[in-house]
Amino acid sequence: NNDENNVDVNTAGVCGAIASGSGYSQLSEFCTALDISVMSEKTYLSYLYVMNNAEDLAMKEMINAGKGEYQLAAEAGDIKNGTPKIAVIVDGA
């Protein structure tokens, strides 16, 4: 279990709210429906401020995913002149 890859519940909650196009009120209602304690709006806003650095987090995740794909290609012997052959599938979203 690598702490670098773990995200605390408040960060995950704010990221989820952002990803779904909602905000604190919707997150609060959702948590209430699940009978989960919700952070205060002040806490939410402080995490939201930190989310301005979400691009850095996303970039780190993409780099880690790329390293994993490179490793899988290396294990399969699918590297030519240092370049891995990796299948890419997109859904157009």
C-alpha distance from residue 20 to each of 1, 15, 16, 78 (Å): 28, 9, 6, 37
Span 69-81, average pLDDT: 91
In a domain? residue 89: no
**Residue 34, domain member (yes or no):** yes
pLDDT confidence of residue 86: 86
Residue 53 lies in a domain: yes
In a domain, 90, yes or no: no
Is the C-alpha dihedral spanning 64, 70, 75, 76 positive or negative? positive
Is residue 92 assigned to a domain?
no
Give the structural domain span for 73: 9-84
Report if residue 2 sits inside a domain. no
Number of separate domains in the chain: 1
Encode pLDDT of 4-54 as tens digits: 667 889 988 998 898 899 999 999 999 999 999 999 999 999 998 877 677
Rounded-to-integer distance, Cα 91 and Cα 93, Å: 6
Is the pTM higher than 0.75? The answer reads no
Structure tokens at 41: 């709006």
Least confident of 3-7, 17-21, 70-74, 77-81: 3-7
Residue 36, domain member (yes or no):
yes
